[in-house]
Amino acid sequence: MQMQNLTTSHQEPPQSQETESLVQRLAGPSSGKAGLAKDQTEINRIIADVSKGSKFYENEKKKDRELTERINKVLKTRDEVVKGVDIRKVEANVDRLLAEMESQRDLTQTIVHVDMDAFYASVELLSNPELAGKPFGVGRGVLTTASYEARKYGVRSGMPGFIAKRLCPDLIFVQNHFSKYMDMSNRIMAIFKRYDPNMLPAGCDEGYLNITAYCEEHSISAEDCVREMRRIVFEETKLTVSAGIAPNKMLAKICSDRNKPNGQFHLPFDRKSIVAFMHDLSIRKVPGIGRVNERLLESIGIKTCADIFTHRVVIALMDKQFGLHFLLRTHLGIASNEVQPIQREERKSIGAERTFPPLDDRDKLLQMLEHIASELESDMSRNGWMGKTVTLKYKLDTYQVFTRAKSLTRYVSSKQELFSIGRDLFVAEGHVKVRLIGLRVTRLKDLRAPSPAGIKRFFESANSSPRKRQKLGSEGMRDEIYENDEQEKQHMDAMPGFYEHEEAMHHVNAVEESEDDQRGMVAEKSRERPRPPVSAPARPLTSLVKLEDVPRKISPPKPKPLGRERSKSDVGQRSKDPYFDVPNGKQAQVCPICSRTLVTDNQGLNAHVDFCLSRSAIQEARSNGGGTSADKSEHTASAKPPFGPTLNGWDFLMAQKETNPRTKDKKRK
């Protein structure tokens, strides 16, 4: 490969009123939905023309311009990183990595991705058979889905009603009925679980199954098994489902879209067929690559999965921007085949939000926020959650999305607390005109998790789990911190930025949620949170450095002054000091150290436990250190009740360090 092939000069996209990328962006994230016309040029032009002059249009134009600037920086970086590089050496390293990945290909599992056809529209059709054969959309301000008859005109989910009406003048609008969708979803999932009890729901209308064991047990082929499954779904619900059969979840997801609606596609389980299948596949068809990453990849010449190999040197040199492992695995058609339901400990956030016509009446907005807080309290109470961080999300009438968060020292779940925090965050923003508002709680505590026996439970970090708090941010913010191998693997299974907040998550053409948003909301209520169709792949390959091997600085908490007396000002600051009890929410609790029964809350109990431990440890240390009996009696007499500021474990260690003769000697030296 010649150097000039890598550094071909790029022309900056024109900054006119309507760039090609802007027109494509205005088409929305659902432009690849099944049933749409292959050539959507005229449809996209109509959408752009109708959108002109709106705040949505201006916001999309701004985002398109920002992405163009980002692409220009990426191209500039590309031109710089390839200078003076031994291309053959990089190619050889990547080829070795490809060979290692190939050696890990697993063709032993039969994975199926099932996807209901136009789910909301199909459910509405059951209630109103007169809609059969007619173009109709579900939703008012923005469509949550559209019938296949409407899709022929370019109508799709996430599209404003006035644009849909322009594309299809005879379009019929049908109101959403989410309770019906949830009931039907539960019936469908129950059928799927007959074939795989450990299936992974990926929303209210789709999921992944591993039917390997079922096929072996019943001596049936994968195709016959899926055909039977689809037949039973139709017989029991009168709804159709499409399916993809493949060796892993990524391929199964892609295959399920091949013969929609009401069809299935079986990809042969051999390397040659899989590589050929991926060769000419559009990069946008790959789960985890949305509109933004599609443009980024196209900017360096990657439009199909075959182009990944052609540009493997640039991808390797710009791993941070593009994700080398993810793209190489995509090129080979290798992904995770692990199918299991989402565990409770994987839950990292819970929230509720509402979209509505632009509103600037603060009183009405606060009433809506109070209603959201009430709904959120109900969900948290019903499912056994509390949290320490409350995030307010709001979307301006200009379609800009903002989040404001407040972290607490205690867990909250009540409507009063959620609303109070949300109200304070919202009022601080001043006078704003918004079209969406919501609350989300993170840093969760599972009230249904079995408590460790004895004193150990008082030393566990908040929100700990077997996955070590994989995600600390809200779903809207998608902040990811990879703290262990599992997270590092998961990160490799998607392009950088895939877990960040994307506008596709909340397509904002009009005044209701898009179909994907509503699916997420329904799945949220069923506690089966949608996630990317690819999960943790095989073990990280050669060039990765494990995060746990990287030394980290851990700043200890700042020690509190010893012997601080409780003043009147302290009493006034009770709610701010974690060592004071909180007046509200008290209950009878037994101290595991002194066995006293205390009427307090968890925070007060923790303070009391700290006090008991510190008192015992200090007395023992003084005894071992040769302290006088007068010293001991003085300390015992001055011990404060368990509801004031106490000496916790860290304070004690710091105090011991300061009074230790060896430590003093080292300081002198």
Catalytic residues, by residue number, are 206
243, two tokens: 């399916």
CB atoms within 10 A of CB 339: 23
| Helices 41-51 and 55-81, axial angle in degrees (round to 10) | 120
Pair type for strands 145-146 and 136-138: antiparallel
Residue 84, class by beta-carbon neighbours within 10 Å (0-12 exposed, 13-18 middle, 19+ buried)?
exposed
The C-alpha atoms of residue 149 and residue 199 are separated, in whole angstroms, by 32
Residue with tokens 């139709």: 234
Integer Cα distance of 579 and 363 in angstroms: 36
Structure tokens at 480: 């990811």
Residues found in the chain = 669
Q: What is the largest CA-CA distance in the chain?
A: 94
Cα–Cα distance measured from residue 668 to residue 172, given in angstroms and rounded to the nearest whole number: 85
For residues 439 and 372, the answer to whether their CB atoms sit within 8 Å is yes
Report which residue type is found at 194.
R
User: Cα–Cα distances in Å, from 624 out to 611, 616, 629, 663?
Assistant: 20, 12, 12, 17
Any idea which residue has 């060979």 for tokens? Answer: 99
| 206-210 and 111-116 beta bridge pairing | antiparallel
Tell me how far apart the alpha carbons of residues 555 and 561 are, in angstroms, rounded to a whole number: 18
Residue 421 CB partners (closer than 8 Å, separation 6+): 390, 392, 406, 408, 412
CA 630/CA 542 separation, integer angstroms? 64
3-state secondary structure of 398: coil
Q: How far apart are CA 657 and CA 635, in angstroms?
A: 18
Show the tokens assigned to 295. Answer: 């443009």
User: Residue 411: helix, strand or coil by DSSP?
Assistant: strand
The Cα 132–Cα 147 span in angstroms is: 9
Residue position matching structure tokens 């998550």: 505
- SS3 labels along 465-485: CCCCCCECCCCCCCCECCCCH
408 φ, ψ (degrees, to nearest 5) = -120, 165
Question: What are the tokens at 11?
Answer: 């022309």
Q: Which residues contact 573 (CB under 8 A, 6 or more apart)?
A: 580
- Residue 277 is inside which H or E element, if any? helix 271-279
310 to 32, 95, 253, 281: CA distances (angstroms): 25, 12, 25, 14
Ramachandran region of residue 333, left (φ > 0), alpha (ψ -120 to 50) or beta?
left
Q: Are strands 401-412 and 385-396 parallel, antiparallel or unpaired?
A: antiparallel
Show the 3-state SS of 183-197. HHHHHHHHHHCCCCC
For residue 260, what are its two tokens?
A: 């929609």
Task: Give the type of residue at 646.
Answer: T
